A = this chain, B = another copy of it.
Amino acid sequence: MTETSSGAVLVLGGARSGKSAFAEGLVTASGLLRHYIATGRAFDEEMRERIAHHRKDRGDGWVTHEEPLALAARINEMARPDRAVLVDCLTLWVTNLMLEERDMVAEFSGLLDAIKTAPGRLILVSNEVGLGIVPDNRMARDFRDHAGRLHQKVAALVPEVYFLAAGLPLKMKG
């Protein structure tokens, strides 16, 4: 937890808080080659619309990868000193892991290792989901717990953390 990754950033925020646009701005500002890892899966029309909408917002000049599960391996594969890799988002990855009943401890540990060793810039976007009323169902509570624990681990590791609200970044670390 004391080791610090050099080029990684965590961008946290609520729904429609502007976190993806802010993260894309960090990538563009880096001047590096732009790679995008989408963790969401298009199960239904609404999700397809949201993904298409995000892709349109990003514009040209991006190489897009879809990776719902093997995120650590994909980061290891994609990260290069001349690339900025944007992962959008960790919470959808957690959802996918839960649906597949993966071992969260092992998965999180693998991701942290990938973050530690990634060259270039690595921008991780995630949703803060723990600031509402306790959800009625156990799965949603477990999801909040997993997401929150992952955010703590990633935030302890990376040198820069932002919290977004209304499109405005608040620097929490760095």
Contacts and interface: CB of A to CB of B under 8 A. Distances in A.
Interface stretch (A68-76, A104-112, A138-146): A138-146
Given A16-B144, A148-B17, A152-B16, A131 B129 contact: yes
Contact of A166 (B134, B141, B144, B152): B152
Interface size class of A (residues with CB under 8 A): 35 or more
* Interface majority SS (helix, strand, loop, mixed), chain A: mixed
A52 interface: no
Given A15-B145, A129-B131, A131-B14, A170 B172 contact: yes
Contacts of A170: 163, 170, 172
A167 interface: yes
Given A14-B130, A16-B148, A130-B15, A155 B167 contact: yes
20 contacts: A10-B166, A12-B165, A14-B148, A15-B131, A16-B151, A18-B148, A18-B152, A46-B138, A128-B166, A129-B131, A129-B133, A130-B131, A132-B132, A132-B133, A133-B135, A133-B143, A151-B165, A161-B166, A163-B165, A165-B172
